[in-house]
Structure 1
Amino acid sequence: MDDLSLPAVDSLRRAQNAIIEHSLDRISAEHPWYRTLPEAPRRQIDAVARLGVTMFVDSVETPRDDVVPNRIFSVAPAALTGTITLGQTLGLVRTVLDVVIEEAPQAVPAEDHDTVTILALTFGRDVGFAAAEVYARAAEARGAWDARLESVAVDSMLHDSPEDAVTRAGTAGWGGAGPVVALVARAALDAMGASRLRHECRQLSSDCLVSARGDSVIIVLGAAEEEAGGGGSPERALGRAAQTIASMIDGVVVIGPVVPGIDQAGRSLRSALAGLRARPGWPDAPNPVHADDLLPERLLDGDELAAEQITALVGAPLHSMGEPFEETVATYLSLGGSLEATARALFVHANTVRYRLGRVSEQVGWDATDARDGLMLHMAIIVGRLRAHQGG
């Protein structure tokens, strides 16, 4: 393609201001959203349009010089990436380009019409790609910043006061006041993987925080107070969401207990982390597994929170049933699960032992005749005895 003649370039330069003004008029007429913007963003967008037309004429005048299209957006990055969408920006580019294609060829001799049109189309294509690049960089920067805020919020849940944790979570975008659950997974995620996971979490829960840390990832999910997900309580809906998210992760996942609100999220998170550390102690554990199902391993691993939780979940309900039931369970477990030996030790019939164990299974939720449940009950009884001995 031949360069434009000097007279043609001079003609374009003289027509430049008119093309700019006509472009701005067309933008205002064809894009109603533009007219609703505050004055400052509109001025910045006008500056982008003016610079775009000017740079086009510059590129025609000196075609061998490097013209960097994304420099057009340097005059208003905040207006473009923070106020209007990429689609709206491309709409502006098309509008200005339409005016340039209509008017620029008319400003030059007839033999240069096609050349100017091709130059305008090429320049417009480059500007479109530059706009996409600007938005991609802005999105990447926002994503990195958001990820840092979420990691800070998670750290605050682990180490700071509940009030500070609420504040940090709010800074990271947490807006709900409903129940919360934490998940911890042994999985390595890059920035793209974390972003995809965050997107999935936001489809299933009202609030979420995702923090990728080397070979592990932490997720905190929140449900709106009124959210029930098609039936049941918000807590149940959140539990289902946690299970769904856990199934998407390629790695060992531990789900913490559901807690009432974000101010108690640290409890769920610490439980999940303790469960992940203790998980090797139960090689046959399901995946995902709940942190409360790992209470025996967590106790043996030195988790102080596990003693509180096993007392609340198992020990206290068993104790409240009365001494005969607690004694029957303790004796049955200490004698290796023998009904007859337990009956002889307690001077009762074997059917009485069977009845008491059945009642415990119904009311407490743990079956002493099951090996895993029996371990949970036995550990709860031991913790209760130690606490009674210590006066706690």
Structure 2
Amino acid sequence: MSPTGPAARESATQQLRAATGSLSTAAVARMEADLAWFRELGAEERSWVGMIVQAGVQGFVDWFSGGGGSDPADNEVVVQVFGAAPRTMAGAVDLHQTVDLIKLTIDEVERNVQLLLEPDVMAEVHAAVLRYGREVAFATAEVYARAAEVRGRWDARLEALVVDAVLRDETDESVLSRASAVGWAARGEVAVVVGTAPAEAAWAQAGLFDAVRRAARERGLDALCAVQGHLLVVILGGVSTPEKDAAALLEVFGEGAVVVGPVATDLAQAHVSASVALGALRAAVGWPDAPRPVSAHDLLPERILAGDDEARVEAVEQLYRPLTEARGELVETLVAYFAHGGAIEATSRALFVHANTVRYRLGQIGDLTGLTPSVPRDALVLQLALVLGRQSHL
């Protein structure tokens, strides 16, 4: 293509400049006719689009009048029009829709300039429109990427504030509103999962949070997370089987124990789950062979020995008290069973009952507490519960 002479370019520029308003109006009318989502926008959003289209057409004319030799993506007018506007529109118009707007505007400009310009400048104007549109589309994509990055950092900070409020038992209406703003759907019961944050440099914080949310979504769960010092704290919503749900997140934690707190009714009560989980994590070092993840309840003996008051209350209320309220001889049988080294026959002789009666009572104990006296670890928990239960009567 041979270069257009200065006179022809100047004439084309004047014609384009005079037609800027009509070209913009034609482009918006085309959007109204062809794009269903555009018709559904509010009046304010549609006015944004109209201003952007008009400024974009004007920017092209200015760039073309200057010779069209420089990269239009670096032109100050292009950055101003297609750089700042999407930040305002991002909540209503996504990147794909914005690119559609650009394509449609270019198509409408090309169709209308054929009626305005002389044939000898059409080839150059056509090539300039395509180049300008392509570069503006790339610039817009970059702006959206930057806006998403900024939004991601802001969301991460907001999410961290929500998690911190939960840990401090300050979950008021404003905190619940912030949780909703970062995607918390407030569905079903809640459990808090805690463990060491990953040490790998590859886990940038935003990437870590994205991995947590992705793993949670795959199980149909909500998730809020934050790094607290060296710990990663994850609040899961919509849990059904907390330990299995937490197992889906194991890859995002660092080495060491991963502890699941007890289920809470909702986010406002999640501080209880968090408090128990954090206490259990501190005590988990006492059980190096613990499963991963492990429930705070399964760490009950370590928590008791670490001086966890909540664990002591749990042992008395959930283990000792049900045994005393069911049948008085259950506690007596359990004490005799431990005193005789777990021997059924020796226990039956000490209690003056048949061995099968001892077996039956031990089965009842298992049904009430979920613990089997013949299993060493369960026996440890039951013995601690007996001691604490007796002490609670002092």
Q: Indicate the TM-score class for this superposition, using the shorter chain for normalisation.
A: 0.7 to 0.9
Q: 1:203 to 1:297 in 2, by over 3 A?
A: same
Counterpart selection for 2:233 from 214, 218, 224 = 218
The corresponding residue for 2:310 is 305
Q: Alignment partner of 2:107: what SS? A: helix
How far the C-alpha of 1:134 sits from its partner, in A, is: 2.2
Residue 34 of structure 1 pairs with residue 35 of structure 2? no
Show the 5 A alignment for 1:1-392: 4-6=4-6, 7-16=8-17, 17=20, 18-62=22-66, 63-64=68-69, 66-68=74-76, 69-74=78-83, 76-104=85-113, 107-161=116-170, 164-165=171-172, 167-173=174-180, 174-176=184-186, 178-188=188-198, 189=203, 190-205=205-220, 207-213=222-228, 215-223=230-238, 237=240, 239=242, 242-251=245-254, 252-389=257-394
Q: 1:330 to 1:145 in 2, by over 3 A?
A: farther
Deviations 1:320-367 (Å, cap 9, x if unpaired)?
Answer: 233321122133234433334434544444443333222211232100
Q: 1:29 to 1:64 in 2, by over 3 A?
A: same
> Which whole-Å CA distance do the structure 2 matches of 1:144 and 1:125 have between them?
29
Identical amino acids, percent of aligned pairs = 35
Letter in 1 for 2:283: A
How far the C-alpha of 1:95 sits from its partner, in A, is: 0.6
Instruction: Give structure 2 stretches of 5+ with no counterpart.
Output: none
Contact 1:70-1:134 within 8 A present in 2 as well: no
Instruction: Give structure 1 stretches of 5+ with no counterpart.
Output: 224-234
> Which whole-Å CA distance do the structure 1 matches of 2:328 and 2:178 have between them?
50
> Which whole-Å CA distance do the structure 2 matches of 1:263 and 1:12 have between them?
64
Letter in 2 for 1:44: W
Letter in 2 for 1:144: R
Q: TM-score w.r.t. structure 1 length?
A: 0.85
> Which whole-Å CA distance do the structure 2 matches of 1:117 and 1:45 have between them?
23
Tell me the C-alpha RMSD between the 2 structures. 2.7
> Which whole-Å CA distance do the structure 2 matches of 1:103 and 1:355 have between them?
92
> Which whole-Å CA distance do the structure 1 matches of 2:345 and 2:65 have between them?
103
How far the C-alpha of 1:99 sits from its partner, in A, is: 1.9
Q: Alignment partner of 1:112: what SS? A: helix
Letter in 2 for 1:363: L
The corresponding residue for 1:227 is none
Query: Structure 1 residues 356-365 or 56-65, which shifts more?
Result: 56-65
Letter in 2 for 1:12: T
How far the C-alpha of 1:74 sits from its partner, in A, is: 4.5
> Which whole-Å CA distance do the structure 1 matches of 2:12 and 2:187 have between them?
65
Contact 2:344-2:359 within 8 A present in 1 as well: yes
Q: 1:330 to 1:144 in 2, by over 3 A?
A: farther
> Which whole-Å CA distance do the structure 1 matches of 2:224 and 2:247 have between them?
16
Q: Alignment partner of 2:226: what SS? A: strand
Letter in 2 for 1:179: E
Letter in 1 for 2:212: L
How far the C-alpha of 1:387 sits from its partner, in A, is: 1.5
Deviations 1:19-60 (Å, cap 9, x if unpaired)?
Answer: 223222222222233233222221211111111111122222
Q: 1:144 to 1:315 in 2, by over 3 A?
A: farther
- Number of matched pairs: 375
Q: TM-score w.r.t. structure 2 length?
A: 0.85
Contact 1:179-1:238 within 8 A present in 2 as well: no
Q: 1:247 to 1:160 in 2, by over 3 A?
A: closer
Q: Alignment partner of 1:147: what SS? A: helix
Contact 1:105-1:114 within 8 A present in 2 as well: no
Contact 1:314-1:364 within 8 A present in 2 as well: yes
> Which whole-Å CA distance do the structure 2 matches of 1:40 and 1:25 have between them?
16
Q: Alignment partner of 1:181: what SS? A: strand
Deviations 1:290-319 (Å, cap 9, x if unpaired)?
Answer: 111011111222222212222233222222
Contact 2:172-2:268 within 8 A present in 1 as well: yes
Contact 2:16-2:61 within 8 A present in 1 as well: no
Contact 2:213-2:222 within 8 A present in 1 as well: no
How far the C-alpha of 1:208 sits from its partner, in A, is: 2.8
